[in-house]
Amino acid sequence: MARIEQNDASAVVIIGSGAGGGTLAYELTRQGIPVVVLEAGKRQSTATFSQVPGEAFGQLTWLDRRTQSGSWDVAKSSPNMPAWHCKTVGGTTVHWTAACPRLELWEMKARSVYGNIAGTSLIDWPVSHEELLKYYEMAEKKMGVTRRNGIPGMPASNNFKVMYAGAKKLGYRKVHTGHLAINPKTFDGRGFCIQQGFCVQGCKMGAKWSTLYTDIPRAERTGKLDLRSECMASRIEHGEDGKVNAVVYRDAQGQEQRQKARIVCVAGNGIETPRLLLLSESAKFPKGLANSSDQVGRNYCHQINGFVWGFFEKPVYSWRGVTLGGVIEDEVFNEPKRGFVGGYRMELVTLDLPTLPLVGLPYGWGRDFAWMLENYRNMAGMLINGEDMPRAENRVTLNREVKDAHGLPVPNVHVDEHANDQALRKHAQGQMTKVFEAVGAKRVVLGPLPPATHNTCSARMSEKPEEGVTNAWGRTHDVKNLYISDGSVLTTPGSANPTLTIVALALRQAEHIVGEMKAGRI
């Protein structure tokens, strides 16, 4: 691994090492570009991953203080953790469940297709679906996505067999074990999945794609990467010309440091990215860095989710096999006659027994609650992944009344669900209930809303500068050498789990940055 001096202004500084930041780091370093990656979390490995659910949660999760507001149910059910993502080298690619569907063409033209829906801030993507397709294919080859490029699908678990049988009885046709970045056989130097389940813990086999053990070590081997773990960025600085020139951060000992930069790329997740831009306010950018449009933090989306559990007479053992190893895609279309615009996927899911009562079951403790826990082995599960509507009022702001361990304002996440979101969830949970009932479920239980896991759109791409934060390449409209490199740049969320799109956009952005640097334009 390289050591880049703090006063070296030739380096690209990337904040965050997950799907966007980790991918970008390797793509730049393999072109000979010096890169400093600042990662707030610790570095784990396949050897250090805990397989004890509570320990794994504490080992990987972003647990820094946050607040929230708004009418969404998460404000009641998870008041101290509105979103669940990682604080570790590799970011959320360490604990993600590896689902890799693509956005549909019409999902990237939501404003044109859905029309002017009151109470939303819909716009079309400034990137065409045709162009993104090229990078989807690159990302799928890189990540080893199943059911693409000749890679077989994952084996069918019992949980999937329940889903499949019920879906077929309802007439669904697009039912399969999913496009997953998990190896059914050895690939790219990584082991194969041994079907032990609980994929939200770190994968001991390395079968699940993560930048932790792919892009990051490869970037280190180029001799051009300086990875600094346990380093929390607190401010991005700029010169009189408005260009960014340094990142201020706290190191592992809590000491303030300053790294000069030629380019800064922010990839801190859909909550921490806007927070950092807002913390970087100055006389030139009084509303926050790159925020002349007042769009930083706005339009926050988290995708519509919600659990449905089916309980059967015989054991299902839903924890065996890949957690998200199944999907029904027949409802991924736009038909307003259903009572809402946009579509959704029904995805297989399970939760480990310690986590299930915390985020997966309704009511609270009592006899009926205990019955559900006693019937855990007979339980099958599904989860909605649906398109939510961007709203200007749904946003990440700074709560200046509450401070983190470094004395900085924490992010506040505000969400008021749109009526379209609620109608989509009701329809999806109804269909999932029918799937389970079609194969003899003796009981179906609708779970509460868990903390958000897909945090997107809070620094979105836009054709018009006044409607977003970045252009089609993720470069901020206001600052020529400042890029956003994570899910914050998604213009709309669609109904596809976002990681594949984030990686595809990072590959595309890397090509752009290399070209701009070679041409001397940044």
Distance from the first to the final alpha carbon of the chain: 25
Report the pLDDT value the prediction gives residue 363, as an integer from 0 to 100: 79
Report the pLDDT value the prediction gives residue 358, as an integer from 0 to 100: 87
Rounded to an integer, what distance in angstroms lies between the CA atom of residue 62 and that of residue 40? 9
pLDDT at 255 over 80: yes
In CATH, 12-518 is 3.40.366.10: no
Q: Could you count the other beta carbons within 10 Å of the beta carbon of residue 392? A: 13
Q: Which of 487, 461, 459, 454 is nearest to 127 (CA)?
A: 461
Domain boundaries of the chain, sorted by first residue:
12-518
Could you report the per-residue pLDDT of 28-55, keeping only the tens digit for each? 999 999 999 999 999 999 999 999 989 9
pLDDT at 1 over 80: no
Kindly report the average pLDDT of the chain as a whole number.
Answer: 97
What is the mean predicted confidence (pLDDT) over 89-114?
98
Report the pLDDT value the prediction gives residue 179, as an integer from 0 to 100: 98
b/e string for 472-496 if b means 16 or more Cβ within 10 A?
A: bbbbbbbbbbbbbbbbbbbbbbbbb
Report the pLDDT value the prediction gives residue 76, as an integer from 0 to 100: 85
Could you report the per-residue pLDDT of 122-181, keeping only the tens digit for each? 999 999 999 999 999 999 999 999 999 999 999 999 999 999 999 999 999 999 999 999
Rounded to an integer, what distance in angstroms lies between the CA atom of residue 214 and that of residue 98? 15
Query: Which two structure tokens, joined as six digits, stand for 350?
Result: 């399970």
Q: Computed from CA positions of residues 124, 129, 132, 136, in that sequence, does the dihedral angle turn out positive or negative?
A: positive
Establish how many alpha carbons lie within 13 A of residue 394's alpha carbon, considering only the half-sphere containing its beta carbon: 26
Rounded to an integer, what distance in angstroms lies between the CA atom of residue 243 and that of residue 239? 6
Q: Which pairs from 397-400 meet CB under 8 Å and 24+ separation?
A: 397/278, 397/297, 398/275, 398/278, 398/279, 399/67
What is the mean predicted confidence (pLDDT) over 432-454?
96
Q: Could you count the other beta carbons within 10 Å of the beta carbon of residue 509? A: 27
Q: Could you count the other beta carbons within 10 Å of the beta carbon of residue 172? A: 18
Burial class (CB in 10 A: 0-12, 13-18, 19+), 374: exposed
Rounded to an integer, what distance in angstroms lies between the CA atom of residue 417 and that of residue 75? 12
pLDDT at 327 over 90: yes
Report the pLDDT value the prediction gives residue 364, as an integer from 0 to 100: 81
Q: Which of 220, 221, 319 is nearest to 17 (CA)?
A: 220
pLDDT grade for 233, boundaries at 50, 70 and 90: very high
